[in-house]
Amino acid sequence: MSKVRGNNLCEPLDQLKDTHGLLLGQMKKISRLVGELQKGSFDQEWDGKWFELYQQVITFFAHLKIHLYKEEHFLFPIIEQYYDDDDNVLMVMDHEHKTIESKIIQFMETFEKRKTPFSPIEGLSLLSCIEFAYSTLIDHFHEEEKILFPFADKHLVECEKEKLSSKMKVFK
């Protein structure tokens, strides 16, 4: 069932890695829209672009939350036994998850509370939340794929890989 294939990871870790690509693709579209808004004016005619950004962020965040849930509730608990007490890899990963989530939530809540068009300073500040989340996400995914996933693939025994795979199938 779960097998290491060449440079690939076992099936559940491959699924998590594949999701990274999908999420980064969504985030690239969001980033392009952020760039357009940064170059534009902040008058009412941009409301449509802001709402489009907001909708894309909500959709992205829903997918991200499922992905983070799988890592935090399925993967992390299984592999934590293989890390030394002094190793902070999972703690750092969890902190980055929370940082990314908080920046996206900050964007969504601020957008939802607005009553008038954003001033240029407000708009640029709000867009920086998305930019920060995106850059953190890129680095975070890179570290997971370079360090966490290979570590997990190497240390998890077959029954743990099966258990991880079984839990992740709940979300298909």
Q: What integer best gives the mean pLDDT of the chain?
A: 89
For residue range 61-79, list pLDDT tens digits in order: 999 999 999 999 999 999 9
Q: Which domains does the chain have, with CATH numbers?
A: 11-171 (1.20.120.520)
Question: How many of the other CB atoms lie within 10 Å of CB of 3?
Answer: 10
Measured distance CA(31)–CA(38) in Å, rounded: 10
For residue range 16-30, list pLDDT tens digits in order: 999 999 999 999 999
How would you write the pLDDT of the chain (172 residues) with one tens digit per residue?
Answer: 334 344 589 999 999 999 999 999 999 999 999 998 888 766 656 678 899 999 999 999 999 999 999 999 999 999 999 988 667 889 999 999 999 999 999 999 999 998 887 888 888 999 999 999 999 999 999 999 999 999 999 999 999 999 999 998 887 6
CA dihedral 91, 93, 98, 100 (to 10 degrees): 160
Measured distance CA(152)–CA(17) in Å, rounded: 12
Model pTM score: 0.89
